[in-house]
Chains A and B, each alone.
Chain A
Amino acid sequence: GENVEQHPSTLSVQEGDSAVIKCTYSDSASNYFPWYKQELGKRPQLIIDIRSNVGEKKDQRIAVTLNKTAKHFSLHITETQPEDSAVYFCPAEGTGNQFYFGTGTSLTVIP
């Protein structure tokens, strides 16, 4: 499968602070970059995505930025809240529309 590296593996922030998670991918032909959130005991769900013709996308407190030259994209969460606590994934798309998930980032927002 496609290779994606995600950092950090764990992240703790105080409520109200910002959180940034970064993913680095290997395939320069990739053009779709999603972020999934998985709350404890639940299925993963898409929270935001970006395509290669766009450098940044925002949705309220969540934003994704893409640097195609450096082959990395980042998830930014501002004004974090306890309900943001979850595991976040940045899967890489394979050649056959499959998605390969990395190790994920466990985010804990401390009230």
Chain B
Amino acid sequence: SAVISQKPSRDICQRGTSLTIQCQVDSQVTMMFWYRQQPGQSLTLIATANQGSEATYESGFVIDKFPISRPNLTFSTLTVSNMSPEDSSIYLCSTITGGTGELFFGEGSRLTVL
């Protein structure tokens, strides 16, 4: 299993500002994933972050809006840039460990953009 810590757990932000979400895993992992969950909706994969290479973004998500860092095998950050109210969501960090294929999630970061 994996224990994933995210911070902040929630924040209220002003339009036009940027916020960085941190994700810490209690073990070394190859892949980390960032998801967005808008109110009442499913989870949408934003990007996959591998250590030592640039993140791979899904269709509809770009690096300028969601820059990601992956400095080592236990840590990643997601920045939500130039925020607008449409960015109000829960952002979840996740990873796969143990070879079982099970996806573990952090507790999520709830962002509200005013």
Decide yes or no: A101 and B42 within 8 Å by CB, A32-B101, A96-B48, A96-B56 being known contacts. Answer: yes
Interface size on B, residues (CB 8 A): 20
Contact present for B105 and A91 (CB under 8 Å): no
Decide yes or no: A34 and B106 within 8 Å by CB, A89-B43, A97-B96, A101-B43 being known contacts. Answer: no
Contact present for B106 and A43 (CB under 8 Å): yes
Contact present for A98 and B43 (CB under 8 Å): no
Taking a contact as CB atoms closer than 8 A, the residue among B33, B43, B48, B96 that contacts A44 in the complex is B43
Contact code string A94-111 (vs B, CB < 8 Å = 1, else 0): 001111111110000000
A96 contact set on B, CB distance < 8 A: 31, 48, 56
By secondary structure, the B interface counts as strand
A93 to B100 alpha-carbon distance, docked (Å): 13
A54 within 8 A of B: no
A8 to B57 alpha-carbon distance, docked (Å): 30
A46 within 8 A of B: yes
Binding site for A on B (CB under 8 A): 31, 33, 35, 42-45, 48, 56, 58-59, 92, 96, 101-103, 105-108
